[in-house]
Amino acid sequence: MFSFGTVFTFALLLIPPTEAVDSSYVAAVYEHNLILNPDPRVPLSRLEALQHLQKNLDVFEVQAARAAQQGAQIIVFPEDGLHGFNFSRTSISAYLETVPDPEQESWNPCLEPLRHNNTEVLQQLSCMARRNNLYLVANMADLQPCSVSAAPSSCPPDGRWQFNTNVVFRSDGLLVARYHKYNLYFEAAFDAPPEPEIVTFDTPFAGKFGLITCFDILFQEPTVILVEKGVRQIIFPAAWMNQLPLLDIIQFQRAFSLGANVTLLAANIRNDQLIMTGSGIYTPFSATYHHAQRGDPEEGRLLVARVPVLDPEWLGHNAASGEAAAVDESPGYCYSDTCLDSPASTAPVFVSSMMYDPFTFALLNATDGEMRVCNGTFCCYLQYRWVEETGRTELYALGAFDGTHTVNGHYAVQVCALVRCAGSDASSCGQEVDEAESKLDFMLEGKFASRHVYPSVLSSGMVLEQPERVEAAADGRVSLKHSSVMGGLVTACLYGRMHHLDTA
Smallest CA-to-CA distance from 164 within 147, 141, 144 is with 141
Q: What is the tens place of the pLDDT at every residue in 177-219?
A: 999 999 999 999 999 999 999 999 999 999 999 999 999 999 9
Q: Is the pLDDT of residue 372 over 60?
A: yes
Name the residue among 470, 474, 471, 467 with its Cα closest to residue 489: 467
* Residue 484: per-residue pLDDT: 84
d(Cα 278, Cα 257) in Å, to the nearest integer? Answer: 15
Q: Which residues contact 234 (CB under 8 A, 6 or more apart)?
A: 209, 210, 211, 212, 223, 226, 227, 260, 262, 263, 264, 265
What does the DSSP 8-state code read for residue 97? B
The yes-or-no verdict on residue 434 having pLDDT over 80 is: yes
Considering 79, 323, 370, 445, which one is annotated as catalytic?
79
Over the stretch 88-114, which tens digit does the pLDDT of each residue have? Answer: 999 999 999 999 999 999 999 999 999
> What pLDDT, on the 0 to 100 scale, is given for residue 112?
98
Active site residue 79: yes
Domains belonging to the chain, first-starting first, are 24-317 (3.60.110.10), 343-501 (no CATH)
Mean pLDDT of 339-345: 57
Q: Give the pLDDT score at 339.
A: 58
List CB contacts of 323: < 8 A, sequence separation 6 or more: 261, 312
**Which pLDDT band, with edges at 50, 70 and 90, does 246 fall under?**
very high
pLDDT greater than 90 at residue 431: yes
Q: What value does the mean pLDDT take over residues 276-287? A: 97
User: Is a pLDDT exceeding 80 seen at residue 4?
Assistant: no
Chain-centre distance of CA 421, in angstroms?
Answer: 25
CA-wise closest residue to 74 among 303, 335, 372, 408 = 303
The rounded percent of the chain whose pLDDT value lies above 70 is 89
Amino acid 136: pLDDT: 99
Q: Out of 97, 181, 379, 380, pick the active-site residue.
A: 181
**For the residues 120-129, what does the mean pLDDT come to?**
98
Within 10 A of 229 (CB to CB), how many other CB atoms are there? 12
* 8 A C-beta contact, residue 156 and residue 147: no
Identify whether 421 is a catalytic site residue: no
Q: What pLDDT was estimated at residue 504?
A: 56
Whether the per-residue pLDDT at 336 is higher than 50: the answer is no
CA dist., res. 89 & res. 362, Å (int): 47
Average pLDDT (435-439) is 95
- Characterize 38-65 residue by residue with b for buried, 16 or more Cβ atoms within 10 angstroms of its Cβ, and e for exposed: eebeeebeeeebbebbbebbebbbebbe
* Annotated catalytic residue 493: no
Would you tell me the crossing angle of helices 120-132 and 46-69 to the nearest 10 degrees? Answer: 10
Residues 6+ positions from 165 with CB-CB distance below 8 Å: 99, 139, 140, 141, 142, 178, 179, 180, 181
Tell me the mean pLDDT in the region 73-92: 98
Per-residue pLDDT at 390: 59
Residue-wise pLDDT for 414-425, tens only, equals: 999 999 999 999
DSSP 8-state code for residue 88: -
- Beta-carbon contacts of 114 under 8 Å, excluding residues fewer than 6 positions away, are none
Q: pLDDT, tens digit, for every residue of 313-322? A: 999 854 333 3
Q: What is the DSSP string of 120-146?
A: HHHHHHHHHHHHHTSEEEEEEEEEEE-
End-to-end CA gap in the chain? 50
Residue 389 has pLDDT above 90, yes or no: no
More confident residue, 47 or 18: 47
- Give the active site residue among 110, 214, 380, 421: 214
